Amino acid sequence: MGIRLVVIMIVLSISAGCAAKRPVLYPNELYRSTGPERAQQEIDDCLKRAEEANAQGRLADEVALKTGKSALVGGATGAVVGAISGSALRGGLIGAAAGGTVALVSSAMKGPEDSPVYRRFVELCLSEKGYQVLGWQ
């Protein structure tokens, strides 16, 4: 039962982080005059510039801290579930492994577009080119 839960959590975590988000532009006069293909090229250029500027703002220490916290929470939750089902130690170990794994995989799967600084960089870049960002999807 415990191993299945770990596998399900990992699969859900990976599938949630797979889709890269992109800015959605308002079809203003510039967008209409240049067309969607040119607008997509401009988006690609701004995304590349943001990556080159390292505007992600994510540090390895943040990932390690999140992983550790999630392992502690998972361990405590697993111990409670294990105590109810008969083995607090086994449940705690499974919960800690699951929590840490999900946090680590989730952090690894997050793209730079999840950083507010990265998004703002791309939005300013597009604004300087005359485009208006409605949001991200």
pLDDT at 78: 73
**Structural contact between residues 79 and 90, judged by C-beta atoms closer than 8 angstroms:** no
**Within 10 A of 95 (CB to CB), how many other CB atoms are there?**
25
The ranges assigned to domains in the chain are: 23-57+113-137, 59-109
pLDDT at 59: 44
pLDDT at 97: 76
* pTM exceeds 0.75: no
DSSP lists the bridge partners of residue 25 as 133
**Structural contact between residues 89 and 80, judged by C-beta atoms closer than 8 angstroms:** no
The Cα 7–Cα 15 span in angstroms is 12
State the first-to-last Cα distance of the chain, in angstroms, to the nearest integer: 36
Q: pLDDT tens per residue, the chain (137 residues)? A: 566 665 565 555 555 556 789 999 999 999 999 999 999 999 999 999 999 998 876 544 555 666 777 777 777 777 777 778 788 788 777 877 777 676 665 555 556 678 999 999 999 999 999 999 999 99
**Helix (H) or strand (E) run with residue 134 in it:** strand 133-136
